[in-house]
Amino acid sequence: MTETRVPVPTLERLAIYLRVLLDAHESGIQTLSSQEIEQYSGISAAQFRKDLSYFGEFGKPGVGYSVEALIERIERILRLDAEQPILLVGAGNIGSALVGYPNFQAHRLRIAAVFDNNFVKIGRPFGDLIIEDIARVREVNAQIGARLGIIAVPAHAAQEVADALVEAGVTGILNFAPTILRVPPHVHVRNVSFLQELAVLSYHAVEDALRVNGQARRGGKDGV
C-alpha cells in the first residue's frame, strides 16, 4: 500500500460496495467473499480485490471479508465516518426531491442548509429547513463548515452560484445544471446529466433494434 493515486472509478465502486455491504449487514450476514460481492454488486471479484488493495489488506484468505469491519473501513476512506454537511442551492424540483431523500442519512450525508435567490421562497420551510438567501451563503457556512455543495439552479445561474459556494469554502460540487463550471483547481466538480444518460441509451437502444430487425448486414463481429 504505497499511497498511489486512487483511480476515480475505484472510488465510484467503493460507494457501490458500501451499499451492498450495508444491505448484507442489515440481513445479518457477517462475512462475504469477493466472489459473493461480485454476485451482489455486478463488479468482478478481481476488481473488488484490486480496488481494496489501494487502501491496504483487509480480508482473510479462505474466509473473506468481515462485513462490519469493511463497512467501517470504506466509510473511513470515503470520509463518511463522520457526518458530512452539505449546502444545497436551488429550492426547485430537484432540490425538493433531494431534501426529502431519506437515504442520505444512511451515508451520514446531511443537507445542512438550503439557499435560493427568489424572495418569495426565502424564509419558507423546505423539508426540515428554512430557505435562506444565497447572498448569505458565506456567512451561514462559516457556522456549518460544509465542504460539499449541490447546485440545482437553472444553467444561467450555475456559474455564479458555483463561485459563491467556492467563496464559502466548498471544495466539492455536485452540479445538476447543464453547464461546464469553471472552478479553482482545488475544487472538484461532478456533473449529473439525465439528458446525457438518456442520449447514450438512445443510441444503444435504437442501434440494437436495427440489428434485431435482421439488418445485421455488416458482416462484422456481433459483440454485446
Phi, psi values for residue 170, rounded to 5°: -75, 140
* Total of chain residues touching a second copy, rule CB under 8 A: 67
177 binds, among DNA, ligand NAD, a second copy, none (CB under 5 to 8 A by kind): ligand NAD
- In whole angstroms, give the CA distance from residue 42 to residue 31: 18
Give me 103's grid cell.
437515504
Q: Does 129 engage in binding with a second copy (CB under 8 A)?
A: no
140 binds, among ligand NAD, DNA, a second copy, none (CB under 5 to 8 A by kind): none
153, 178 contact by CB (below 8 A): no
The string of DSSP codes covering 37-93 is: HHHHHSS-HHHHHHHHHTT----BTTTBEEHHHHHHHHHHHTT-SS-EEEEEE--SH
Q: Does 109 engage in binding with DNA (CB under 7 A)?
A: no
116 binds, among a second copy, ligand NAD, DNA, none (CB under 5 to 8 A by kind): ligand NAD
59 binds, among a second copy, ligand NAD, DNA, none (CB under 5 to 8 A by kind): DNA
Task: Looking at residues 39 to 78 of the shown chain, list those that interact with DNA (rule: CB under 7 A).
Answer: 44-47, 49-50, 52-53, 57-65
Stretch that binds a second copy, among 49-57, 62-70, 121-129, 183-191 (CB under 8 A): 183-191
Position among 1, 195, 213, 215 found at the interface with a second copy (CB under 8 A): 195
- In whole angstroms, give the CA distance from residue 51 to residue 185: 26
Phi, psi values for residue 52, rounded to 5°: -65, -30
**Interface residues with ligand NAD (CB under 6 A)?**
89-95, 97-98, 101, 103, 115-118, 121, 134, 152-155, 157, 160-161, 176-178, 194
Give me 224's grid cell.
454485446
Which residue number, 34 or 175, has a Cβ lying nearer to DNA? 34
Per-residue exposure over 9-33, b if at least 16 CB sit within 10 Å of its own CB, e if not: ebeebbebbbebbbebeeeeeebbb
Stretch that binds a second copy, among 124-132, 135-143, 158-166, 198-206 (CB under 8 A): 198-206
Task: Looking at residues 20 to 39 of the shown chain, list those that interact with DNA (rule: CB under 7 A).
Answer: 33-35
Half-sphere exposure of 104 (CA within 13 A, CB side): 14
Which residue number, 63 or 216, has a Cβ lying nearer to DNA? 63
Give the residue among 28, 22, 9 at the shortest CA–CA distance from 70. Answer: 22
162 binds, among ligand NAD, a second copy, DNA, none (CB under 5 to 8 A by kind): none
Q: Does 15 engage in binding with DNA (CB under 7 A)?
A: no
Those residues whose C-beta lies under 8 Å from the C-beta of residue 204, and which sit 6 or more positions away, are none
